[in-house]
Amino acid sequence: MPLLHIENLSVSFETASGAFLAVDSVDFDVDAGERLAIVGESGSGKSVAMLAVMGLLPPTATVTADRLEFAGRDLRGLSPRARREVIGGDVAMIFQEPMSSLNPCFTVGFQIKEALAAHTDLDRKGRQERAVELMRQVGIPEPERRLTAFPHQLSGGMSQRVMIAMATACRPKLLIADEPTTALDVTIQAQILDLLVELQKDHDMALILITHDMGVVAETAQRVVVQYAGQQVERQDVFGLFEAPHHPYTAALLDALPDRASGNRLPAISGVVPGQGDRPQGCLFNPRCRFADETCRKVVPPRQPPELGEALCHYPLHREEKAA
Amino acid sequence: MSTIIEARNLSRFYEVRRGLFAEPATVRALSEASFRVTQGTTLAVVGESGCGKSTLARLLTMIEPPSGGELVIDGKKLGATGHADLKALRKTVQIVFQDPYGSLNPRQKIGAILEEPLKINTDMPSRERREKAFDMLIKVGLRPEHYGRYPHMFSGGQRQRIAIARALMLDPKILILDEPVSALDVSIQAQILNILADLQEELGLTYIFISHDLSVVRFVADEVMVMYLGRPVEFAPVEAVFESPQHPYTVALLSATPVADPRRKRQNIKLEGELPSPINPPSGCPFHPRCRYARDKCSDIRPELTLHGQTLVACHGIEEGWIDYAAEPPPPGAALSGERAGTTPQAPDAAVRAPEPGSPV
């Protein structure tokens, strides 16, 4: 049984100009001890889908799902109190801006111990010991002294380590990392990614990594979900995705990377991600797709079988190689 | 090919007060940077936050005067010239900032944003100004009808096009690009990089491209200057930096850059620790506390930039030959050169345009 099981999750927001569908019927299965990456550009709904799982969306959001289960427990009808037991305990999340995720008025030690007080029955001494152990585990030098530091006294990389310590305080079964390294320098990014993978392996934790950086995906993930305008356009294992992408959007995204450029111009994707007012008919990617024809412009594409990356496309790429 | 920018021992210090009675401290944001840029080429300035790359941009755009050293732009020496010359020189150098949301005034229409530099710096009549704004909009891939709209009506990529158009209104020779694509999505980033390449070809512009993203740098640059804690540590043509990086910091930076290839084995040259404070930089080589090759000498004497092959590098180990990457795992320059079939990246006709590495004077 998968750890996290989601079927047909949709999230829409009430706005002044009508409802905006941010997440459009996505499915997820995350197994224990797995590293899944969700990739997409801004506005693709990758964060919103995970915030819906965590129950962190504002009241203007309407969340609907056929199934939304964590470890066999239905998250949909959960009371706020019961939800808080799951969230922060078995499921934890870290965010993009470590500086603004920490409360500037309290020491980091207080904030880590607060999580322990809420979810464990350790006494004061036990919490202190566990906090020191956690700080050491995430690679913070002089952990006892650092526990008394305020967030403004720490650098961005250190703050993110504190966030990771706090998120893993209750040994979660699932850690959701929303762009954990986007605000950090590359050398610090490498340290944080190594730390996340190490923790994931040591504790046999599942990791969902939300990112827009294909390089980060290639180096960390085992399985990848590509999102575009709220839809999952492709789901594949990481090797397949980079070698033979089946959805034209995935292929175009990979081609647009400067790492892979071969001339002195990049094969850019023209146009922009559709917004609320200009959602096209048929396939959502058709206005920007090189391969689009009349069918794509009129008919909503079908979900292809797993051997074609479950691509949401009428004409998936690299079809011949699979047939051969 | 002529030299358009020449910097000699360029420095910029800031005084910071640390309390009522404490001695004010000096932040050495940029120390003794010497380099040359040839007209029509792109110099990429690479480094982590706090390495002084944005300070360099502020000096080159004459937003701030240098604390020491000399700067010669387009044959005119800064400081020696009067106020009027400085004003003329400012037209030669224009800048595009990182955040296209913060750099455009939300209360101005696009037309007003584009014409403002002309109003301030020239006495061009309004009809010509408008014509020029229309032309520029088309040049950066927007449409003339965007002239009367406000910035909030545009996406991030379009705003960056507007910022580029504004920078080009005064026909500058040099464009400083301070992280111009790091706030943009991959598909939009590619569009902007292509426009920049087109404009450089068409107008013969010189770019100073400030970035922390090495895969972008590899694509746009002719020469690369790697900075660490306010000092250049390596200066070389782009191929040399990526194929045979010399300074241990450059090597570590390359190995830390994620590459979109899951089969590549991650180079395990991890850089321990974080950037030290520029208020109290380490003695000797600024990199020695994080360097795995560091010896006693490194903490005592600061290395100078010396020529090693095509590369100017400030490192005792390279100069004296006791750092030998060949004896160890291969330098991670290979990491960024796509090993996948048929995708060997090349710098934009760097072989044709790349000048000799600038030498310190």
Q: Can you tell me the mean pLDDT for B271-280?
A: 78
Averaged pLDDT score across all residues of chain A:
90
What is the secondary structure of A52-114 as a DSSP string? HHHT---TTEEEE-SEEEETTEE-TT--HHHHHHHBTTTEEEE-S-HHHHS-TTS-HHHHHHH
In angstroms, what CA-CA distances link A268 with A251, B68, B97, B160, B207? 11, 43, 22, 16, 21
Q: Can you tell me the mean pLDDT for B252-265?
A: 85
Mutation for testing the A interface, residue in B99, B153, B185, B349 having most A CBs under 10 Å: B185
pLDDT tens sequence across A50-64: 999 988 899 899 999
pLDDT tens sequence across A1-21: 789 999 999 999 988 888 889
Domains of chain B: 3-106+158-225 (3.40.50.300)
- Work out the pLDDT band at A243, boundaries 50, 70, 90: very high
User: What is the per-residue pLDDT for B95?
Assistant: 94
The answer to whether the Cβ–Cβ distance between A218 and B197 falls below 8 Å is no
For B216-326, strand residue ranges (E) read 223-228, 231-237, 306-308, 311-313
The answer on pLDDT for B360 being more than 60 is: no
Q: Can you tell me the mean pLDDT for A293-305?
A: 93
Q: Can you tell me the mean pLDDT for B192-200?
A: 94
Alpha-carbon distance of A35 to A13, in angstroms, equals 29
The answer on pLDDT for A192 being more than 80 is: yes
Chain B hits for A269, Cβ within 8 Å: 187, 190-191
Q: What is the value of pTM for the model shown?
A: 0.85
Q: What three-state secondary structure class fits B5?
A: strand
The answer on pLDDT for A321 being more than 80 is: no
CATH topology for the A1-31+38-78+212-324 domain: Rossmann fold (3.40.50)
User: What is the per-residue pLDDT for B171?
Assistant: 94
The answer on pLDDT for B340 being more than 70 is: no
Distance from CA of B306 to the nearest CA of A (A): 25
**pLDDT > 70 fraction of chain B, expressed in percent and rounded:** 87
The answer on pLDDT for B338 being more than 50 is: no
**pLDDT > 90 fraction of chain B, expressed in percent and rounded:** 51
Alpha-carbon distance of B157 to B98, in angstroms, equals 11
Residue of A nearest to B335 (CA): A259
The answer on pLDDT for B50 being more than 50 is: yes
Q: Can you tell me the mean pLDDT for B110-117?
A: 95
The answer on pLDDT for B344 being more than 80 is: no
**Per-domain boundaries in chain A:** 1-31+38-78+212-324
Chain B hits for A41, Cβ within 8 Å: 185-188
Alpha-carbon distance of B354 to B38, in angstroms, equals 9
Option in A157, A187, A242 nearest B260 (CB) = A242
**pLDDT > 90 fraction of chain A, expressed in percent and rounded:** 62
- How far is CA B134 from its chain centroid? 29
Q: What would the two tokens of residue A156 be?
A: 């961005």
For chain B, strand residue ranges (E) read 3-16, 25-38, 42-46, 68-73, 76-77, 93-96, 174-178, 206-211, 223-228, 231-237, 306-308, 311-313
Q: Can you tell me the mean pLDDT for A64-91?
A: 88
User: What is the per-residue pLDDT for A186?
Assistant: 86
Which residues, numbered 202 to 241 in chain A, qualify as contacts with chain B under a Cβ-Cβ cut-off of 8 Å?
Answer: 212-219, 221, 238-239
Q: Can you tell me the mean pLDDT for B243-270?
A: 84
Q: What three-state secondary structure class fits B87?
A: helix
Assess contact for A97 and A178: CB atoms under 8 A: no
Alpha-carbon distance of A171 to A122, in angstroms, equals 14
Give the residue with greater pLDDT, B354 vs A22: A22
- A257 touching B (Cβ < 8 Å): yes
Option in B187, B194, B270 nearest A265 (CB) = B194
Name residue B3's amino acid: T
- Work out the pLDDT band at A31, boundaries 50, 70, 90: very high
Residue that is written with structure tokens 């999340």 in the block: A93
- Work out the pLDDT band at B83, boundaries 50, 70, 90: low
- Work out the pLDDT band at B185, boundaries 50, 70, 90: confident
Averaged pLDDT score across all residues of chain B:
85
Please provide residue A249's backbone torsions phi and psi, each rounded to the nearest 5 degrees: -65, -45
Q: Can you tell me the mean pLDDT for B290-303?
A: 90
Give the residue with greater pLDDT, A84 vs B232: B232
Option in A42, A218, A264 nearest B349 (CB) = A264
Residue of B nearest to A222 (CA): B262
Chain A hits for B339, Cβ within 8 Å: none
Assess contact for B42 and B111: CB atoms under 8 A: no
- Work out the pLDDT band at B341, boundaries 50, 70, 90: very low
- Work out the pLDDT band at B273, boundaries 50, 70, 90: confident
- A78 touching B (Cβ < 8 Å): no
